[in-house]
Structure 1
């Protein structure tokens, strides 16, 4: 593995003389990237396969923990170690996976839903749209369904209660996404303690040429709470399994951004490394399977996105990767050629995100907050009827009937078949005393949707009051 790491550095110089190739298995990644081999293996405990794959622009697969035998492999941290593999061709990645996982033949199962982890993409140094739009468009084209946005901090906060013991790591003001930071701290603690258990006696007796800082860190007094870390692992696996079930996919950035430059300050930055490890800790601590998929380049450097499936969902993830890969690369090409419309696409994605936040606020009965989010969506993309109709619903709750009427009119101008817009405008006009116009709106809603009970009840009510 040392030979492969050195080889990785030398080979990478052919393309990026000033960039690092990744982690401990970077030699394998670069050998694949350089066309020397069709596939190669690597060890991934806390990112040793995923990061080199991302930095070298190749497919990298970390299987579910313990599904591929580690027999004959020198352990790093047994609770985290996995045997991963690299390939440029998704068919090769798929075939290698089936051999290593010893999978029998079975039909391909399509994914039910894709979750984009918005908070994870906030950590990325690459614009989120550049990464998520490719996945979103590919999912829509292949499976005909929208992705959903999720905030992992919020989802996991009530599901991994044992993380409280690892939440004291806010250094240098680094308090963004504290739960992911605590998960990262737990992973580092477990990794360090298990490595010490396996190798510290040998290091002390042989005294190999190891960086003094590493030896010093390993020699620090105090043992980690292994039982606590294992509890975190169990809860993390249960939480992600509950979210993804058998046919869900979680989408996150593989790395923070482009490969760092050689000797760059961020390589020794605790904050930078902590943010990178937060992304990696999700699969490492839950034991879920993860694949890093290249998405072309940014600033002439490889970038990627990762898909995560539940623990044991390796076949499903391999099948999904093979199914999506060609379409993803097509979308990368389309995005690269659409620089003129990139701002519009970015605004459209931001508008959708704002709408989702507005919907969440509306469900929580935070009407003014919902109005603000819908307004933001309209400013970003004023051609979507739903944004106006949704804001009208919030205005109705605030008894702002004129604003609600105006928004519904705008929605109807954009989409003349919007039943909700007619219903809401009818409600607003009824409250404003425009009874004839309100009846007209409710009648129009019935023309579009003859069995609509809300419209029928409203018409009967108004006819009784004003025959």
Structure 2
């Protein structure tokens, strides 16, 4: 994209459909720094001064004022020399992993154009994959960076919960919400992390462990392709983490994120009666029906999972899991809608490993199945973000070296 003319870039951007409607948002860097000359896009859940954070829904856009200031995460990138190039489409108020927005369209998955890009950070993933920007910000609660990264063949980072400020970010479920980012290579992913992450210096990751029951959730061809990569890396040690309670992990996530979501957005929904897309409206209706008894039943499980995983994942160790259970779903295949329910159950079970425990996770775009990307994830202990980024670079270099041998 660097050699394209402005008119060519505009045409490509239009075809990709990653940016929100209207004039392309452009904000110059505020200082010189390690990201000099790089451009980034911002998911339309994150404030940029002087613009309305639209949330992927026209009624939200209509009922909110321009942000008086940018989110701190945006300011840090601008101060590091990067410039904003575009606000990106999100699934409505982040309530989807599909990347389909009934109001604004479905951003292109350039890796597999007949398939969905994944969501809810769909536009950010699409913009990076198409080369429209160097990197992009997304948000990730239940997989909204990780799943699009897997589907679109990108590097994607979900940091430790609360490692990066959520000020100026439209909330979904605060105890799970994070700001993450996409890049086309591991070096840039880490370079952005150097700017955004706390300056901790965790021990290097030296031990990789396969999570056997996570691989069992994935489609057989996906699991086989990723296990082959693990073998090439010489990883043989395996553990289980769900211990037969996969359905409970999913249900705990569904209930707890749902009740937080209704607490954050329910008053606006009740007052405004917005028009949601056909697939989105029932999801918000469902969150309104969650009871305190439901929360009381499932919160102890989440707390126990969090304590268990944080105790197991100390310094120097990372787990290997499939990022998503399958390749990107086809947009218009017969019965495509019937795929969504089973997909969510499996995808959110996988993403709940990092989600319940607030752990960092990186998607590595290291395999394909039927010509479409599938991602292998590294999950590390809380606060091990920088070590995880270093491990990602090391693993990619090892795979490249083995491919040349």
When normalised by structure 2's length, the TM-score is 0.69
Match of 1:186 among 239, 249, 252: 252
CA distance in structure 2 between the aligned counterparts of 1:197 and 1:61, rounded to whole angstroms: 27
Verify the 8 A CA contact 1:135 1:328 in the aligned structure 2: no
Match of 1:117 among 194, 211, 218: 211
Match of 2:351 among 259, 280, 297: 280
Cα-to-partner distance string for 1:112-134 (whole Å, 9 max, x where unaligned): 32111111111211253310221
Corresponding position of 2:329: 260
RMSD: 2.4
Kindly tell me: are residues 222 and 243 of structure 1, through their superposed partners in 2, closer, same or farther at Cα, counting changes over 3 Å?
Answer: closer
Deviation at 1:293, TM superposition (A): 0.4
Corresponding position of 1:148: 237
Match of 1:63 among 159, 163, 166: 159
CA distance in structure 2 between the aligned counterparts of 1:118 and 1:90, rounded to whole angstroms: 25
Deviation at 1:10, TM superposition (A): 3.7
Cα-to-partner distance string for 1:169-200 (whole Å, 9 max, x where unaligned): xxxxxxxx4x1210111011011100100111
Kindly tell me: are residues 276 and 15 of structure 1, through their superposed partners in 2, closer, same or farther at Cα, counting changes over 3 Å?
Answer: closer
Verify the 8 A CA contact 1:237 1:311 in the aligned structure 2: no
Kindly tell me: are residues 64 and 209 of structure 1, through their superposed partners in 2, closer, same or farther at Cα, counting changes over 3 Å?
Answer: same
Verify the 8 A CA contact 2:252 2:299 in the aligned structure 1: no
Aligned length in residues: 302
Match of 2:230 among 130, 135, 149: 135
Match of 1:51 among 121, 130, 147: 147
Q: Which SS does the other structure have where 1:61 is aligned?
A: strand
Deviation at 1:203, TM superposition (A): 0.6
Counterpart mapping for 1:331-370 below 5 A: 331=402, 333=403
Gapped regions of structure 2 (runs ≥ 5): 1-43, 45-55, 57-87, 91-100
Q: Which SS does the other structure have where 1:52 is aligned?
A: helix
CA distance in structure 1 between the aligned counterparts of 2:259 and 2:231, rounded to whole angstroms: 40
Deviation at 1:267, TM superposition (A): 4.7
Kindly tell me: are residues 204 and 255 of structure 1, through their superposed partners in 2, closer, same or farther at Cα, counting changes over 3 Å?
Answer: same
Q: Which SS does the other structure have where 1:85 is aligned?
A: strand
Deviation at 1:225, TM superposition (A): 4.2
Kindly tell me: are residues 271 and 127 of structure 1, through their superposed partners in 2, closer, same or farther at Cα, counting changes over 3 Å?
Answer: closer
CA distance in structure 1 between the aligned counterparts of 2:354 and 2:347, rounded to whole angstroms: 13
Verify the 8 A CA contact 1:8 1:31 in the aligned structure 2: no
Counterpart mapping for 1:62-461 below 5 A: 62-103=158-199, 106=201, 109-125=203-219, 126-138=221-233, 140=234, 146-154=235-243, 177=244, 179-210=245-276, 211=278, 212-220=281-289, 222-223=291-292, 225-226=294-295, 229-264=298-333, 265=335, 267-268=337-338, 269-331=340-402, 333=403
CA distance in structure 1 between the aligned counterparts of 2:204 and 2:355, rounded to whole angstroms: 25
Q: Which SS does the other structure have where 1:20 is aligned?
A: coil
Higher relative contact order (CA 8 A, sep 6+): 2
Verify the 8 A CA contact 1:124 1:257 in the aligned structure 2: yes
Higher helix share: 1
Corresponding position of 1:159: none
Residue 118 (structure 2) pairs with residue 22 (structure 1): yes
CA distance in structure 1 between the aligned counterparts of 2:288 and 2:238, rounded to whole angstroms: 43
When normalised by structure 1's length, the TM-score is 0.60
Deviation at 1:263, TM superposition (A): 4.4
Q: Which SS does the other structure have where 2:319 is aligned?
A: strand
User: Which of the two has higher C-alpha Rg?
Assistant: 1
Deviation at 1:135, TM superposition (A): 2.8
Gapped regions of structure 1 (runs ≥ 5): 141-145, 155-176, 336-467
Kindly tell me: are residues 10 and 240 of structure 1, through their superposed partners in 2, closer, same or farther at Cα, counting changes over 3 Å?
Answer: closer
Q: Which SS does the other structure have where 1:80 is aligned?
A: coil
Deviation at 1:259, TM superposition (A): 0.3
Corresponding position of 1:382: none
Corresponding position of 1:352: none
Q: Which SS does the other structure have where 2:315 is aligned?
A: coil
Q: Which of 290-299 and 109-118 deviates more?
A: 109-118
Higher strand share: 2
Q: Which SS does the other structure have where 2:349 is aligned?
A: helix
Cα-to-partner distance string for 1:263-307 (whole Å, 9 max, x where unaligned): 454654433321111101111111111111001321111111111
CA distance in structure 2 between the aligned counterparts of 1:224 and 1:188, rounded to whole angstroms: 14
Q: Which SS does the other structure have where 1:302 is aligned?
A: strand
Q: Which of 204-213 and 61-70 deviates more?
A: 204-213
Verify the 8 A CA contact 2:127 2:133 in the aligned structure 1: yes
CA distance in structure 2 between the aligned counterparts of 1:8 and 1:21, rounded to whole angstroms: 11
